[in-house]
Amino acid sequence: MTTTITPAARTTENTENTEVKRTSVATGAVISASRIVISFLFGFHGLQGFGFFGGIDGQGGGVPFGSFPGWWGSVLELAGAALLLVGLASRAAALVLSGVMAYAYFTVHAPMGLLPLQNMGEPAAVYSWVFLLLAVVGPGTFALDTLLKRRR
C-alpha cells in the first residue's frame, strides 16, 4: 500500500493572517519612526526656551528661570520629547505634550486671530494633534515601552 503525501492546501485564512501580520509590523515600524522624528524635532522647541538655536527671540535669549508658562513649558517640552524619543511612558508624555501645545495655541496664538495661518499657531496646533494621536495609538514597535511590555 502506498501513501501519497500532498502539500497542505493554502487557505485564504492563512494568507489573510500573514497579510495582517505584515501590515501590523509595517504599521508599528512607521509609528515608531514617526514618533522618533517628531520628538527629535520637537525637542528643539524646548531647547529654544533655554536660549539654544537662536532662543525665543532669535538672538539667543531664553525665558527667565522659573517663569510660567515659558520656562515650565520648555522643561515639559524637552522632557516630554526625550521620553517620546526613547519610547518610555510614551502615552502619558504624548498626552501632556498635546495639552502643552493646546495651551500654547489658545493662550498665545488664538488671541491674535481665528485661523492658525493668521496667528502663526499652525505648528502648535499640528503638534497638539500629532501628540494626541500618539497618545491614542501608542509608541509603535521600536520603543522601550514595547520592550518592557514584551518582557512581562
The predicted-structure confidence for 84-100, as pLDDT tens digits, reads as follows 999 999 999 999 999 99
| Domain assignment of residue 117, yes or no | yes
pLDDT value at position 23? Answer: 72
Cα angle: 92, vertex 98, 101; to 5 degrees: 140
Kindly give the residue spans of alpha helices, DSSP state H, lying in 49-121.
70-86, 90-104, 116-119
Phi and psi at 136, nearest 5°, equal -85, -45
- Within a domain: residue 101? yes
Is 5 a domain residue? no
Tell me what pLDDT residue 42 has: 96
State residue 56's pLDDT score.
78
Name the residue type at position 40. Answer: F
Report if residue 107 sits inside a domain: yes
Report residue 15 as a C-alpha cell.
494568507
The span from the CA of 121 to the CA of 32, in Å, is 26
- What is the tens place of the pLDDT at every residue in 121-132? 999 999 999 999
Query: What's the first-to-final CA gap in the chain, in angstroms?
Result: 52
pLDDT tens by residue, 25-69: 889 999 999 999 999 999 998 999 888 888 778 888 888 888 888
Range of the domain at 108: 29-151
pLDDT for 1 equals: 60
Mean pLDDT across the chain: 87
* 148 sits in which H/E element: helix 144-151
In a domain? residue 131: yes
- Structural domain total, the chain: 1
The answer for residues whose C-beta is within 8 angstroms of residue 119's C-beta and 6 or more apart is: 109, 110, 111, 112, 113
Contact 38, 133 (CB under 8 A): no
Provide the pLDDT for residue 6.
59
CA angle 85, 45, 48 (to 5 degrees): 125
Domain presence at residue 140? yes
